[in-house]
DNA sequence: GAGAATAAATATGCCCAGCT
DNA sequence: AGCTGGGCATATTTATTCTC
C-alpha cells in the first residue's frame, strides 16, 4: 500500500472480495453482502440482496461496512453509482464496491451528493481505466479533486440541495400522477365511445 | 534485530452467464 | 445482439515467520 492518501478519505478506502465458492455460499439468512447491483444513487436496494454466513463475514473483516460509509461502484457499467450505508445491520461488500470512509472533515452525505453531481461523475470518468471492462482503481479515487469546504458549509449545501431535490421529486410525482389521470380519462372516453354512451358519429377529425 | 522467505490479504483485470 | 455485472484469475502489497 502506498503511503500517499487523499487528504479527505484517509480513514479507509478499499473493497472486499467474492467469498470462495461465489454464489454457492450465499444464503437467505446472515450478513448482508452488497454487490454493485445493490448500489444506487437513490440509496441501497436490498430487496434481493445476498447474504453470507457470519464465518465468512469475519474472514472478510477488512471489508466490513460501517454506518455512514460511502459505497461507490468501481467497475462495469454501474461505475460511479454511490450510496450511503445507513442500515442497522452488519454488512460486507465484494470487490466491485469500494468503501470510502472519509475523515471528520467530510460529511458523508455531502460526499454522496458530490459523487452524484457533475463534478463527481467527471472525476469518475477521468479516473476510469481498463479496456475490456472499465474500472476505477484506488489510486484514481485518491486523486479525486473534489470541493470540500468547512463542515458548516457542507451542511448548508446539503440542506439547500436536498430541499431542491425534494421539490423536484414532489413535482415529478405530481406529473406522474397527472399523466396517469389523463390516461384513465382517455381510456374512459374510448370505452364510452365504443359502448355508445357518447355519440361520436357527428365528430369531425381535425388535421 | 535486519533482511530474506513465505504466507496472507488486498487490488485489479477481464471472461462470460444471464437477461433483455 | 448488446449490455450488465458476478465472480474467477492474477498481480501486487502487506504481514508473518524464519534464519543468521
Task: Verify if strand B has an atom below 7 Å from the CB of A64.
Answer: no
Calpha distance A13→A30 (Å, rounded): 25
Position A5 scores a pLDDT of 33
Over residues A17-30, the mean pLDDT reads: 69
Identify the helix (H) or strand (E) that includes residue A107: none
DSSP, collapsed to helix, strand or coil, labels residue A157 as helix
- Which nucleotide comes closest to A36 if you measure CA to C1'? C5
Over residues A153-162, the mean pLDDT reads: 91
Position A199 scores a pLDDT of 81
With 70 as the cut, is the pLDDT of residue A112 above it? yes
- Which nucleotide comes closest to A1 if you measure CA to C1'? C13
Task: Verify if strand C has an atom below 7 Å from the CB of A12.
Answer: no
With 60 as the cut, is the pLDDT of residue A7 above it? no
Task: Verify if strand B has an atom below 7 Å from the CB of A60.
Answer: yes
Position A155 scores a pLDDT of 93
Calpha distance A166→A172 (Å, rounded): 10
pLDDT band per the 50, 70, 90 thresholds, residue A32? confident
Task: Pull the grid cell for residue A12.
Answer: 479507509
Domain ranges of chain A: 2-147, 162-206
Q: What is the distance in angstroms measured between the alpha-carbon CA of A1 and the sugar C1' of C15?
A: 12
Side-chain half-sphere exposure of A140, counting CA atoms within 13 A: 20
Which of A18-22, A24-28, A114-118, A188-192 shows the lowest mean pLDDT across its residues? A18-22
DSSP, collapsed to helix, strand or coil, labels residue A167 as helix
3-state helix, strand, coil in chain A (%, to 5): 40, 15, 40
Q: Spell out the residues 6+ positions from residue A103 whose beta carbon is closer than 8 angstroms to its own.
A: A8, A9, A10, A11
Position A9 scores a pLDDT of 60
> Tens digits of per-residue pLDDT, A62-82?
777 888 888 888 877 777 788
Q: What is the distance in angstroms measured between the alpha-carbon CA of A88 and the sugar C1' of C8?
A: 31
Residues forming a β-bridge with A98: A15, A72
Identify the helix (H) or strand (E) that includes residue A71: strand A70-73
Position A6 scores a pLDDT of 43
DSSP, collapsed to helix, strand or coil, labels residue A80 as coil
Strand B bases with any atom < 7 A from protein Cβ: 9-16
Q: What is the distance in angstroms measured between the alpha-carbon CA of A6 and the sugar C1' of C4?
A: 31
What pTM was estimated for this model as a whole?
0.71
Torsion of the alpha carbons at A174, A177, A179 and A185, rounded to the nearest 10? -130
Task: Pull the grid cell for residue A121.
Answer: 461523475
Q: What architecture is the A2-147 domain classified under in CATH?
A: Alpha-Beta Complex (3.90)
Q: What is the distance in angstroms measured between the alpha-carbon CA of A129 and the sugar C1' of B14?
A: 13
Amino acid at each position: 500500500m502506498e503511503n500517499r492518501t487523499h487528504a479527505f478519505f484517509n480513514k479507509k478506502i478499499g473493497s472486499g472480495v467474492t467469498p470462495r465458492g461465489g454464489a454457492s455460499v450465499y444464503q437467505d439468512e446472515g450478513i448482508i453482502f452488497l454487490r454493485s447491483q445493490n448500489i444506487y444513487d437513490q440509496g441501497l436496494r436490498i430487496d434481493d440482496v445476498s447474504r453470507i454466513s457470519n464465518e465468512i463475514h469475519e474472514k472478510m473483516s477488512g471489508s466490513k461496512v460501517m454506518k455512514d460509509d460511502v459505497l461507490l461502484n468501481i467497475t462495469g457499467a454501474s461505475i460511479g453509482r454511490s450510496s450511503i450505508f445507513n442500515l442497522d445491520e452488519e454488512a460486507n461488500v465484494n470487490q466491485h464496491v469500494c468503501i470510502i470512509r472519509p475523515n471528520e472533515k467530510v460529511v458523508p452525505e455531502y460526499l454522496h451528493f458530490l459523487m452524484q453531481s457533475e463534478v463527481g461523475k467527471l472525476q469518475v470518468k477521468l479516473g476510469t481505466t481498463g479496456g475490456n471492462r472499465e474500472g476505477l482503481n484506488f489510486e484514481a479515487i485518491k486523486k479525486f479533486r473534489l470541493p470540500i469546504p468547512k463542515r458548516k458549509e457542507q451542511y448548508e449545501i446539503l440542506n439547500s440541495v436536498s430541499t431542491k431535490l425534494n421539490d423536484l421529486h414532489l413535482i415529478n410525482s405530481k406529473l406522474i400522477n397527472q399523466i396517469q389521470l389523463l390516461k384513465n380519462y382517455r381510456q374512459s372516453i374510448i370505452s364510452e365511445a365504443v359502448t355508445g354512451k357518447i355519440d361520436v358519429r357527428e365528430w369531425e377529425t381535425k388535421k
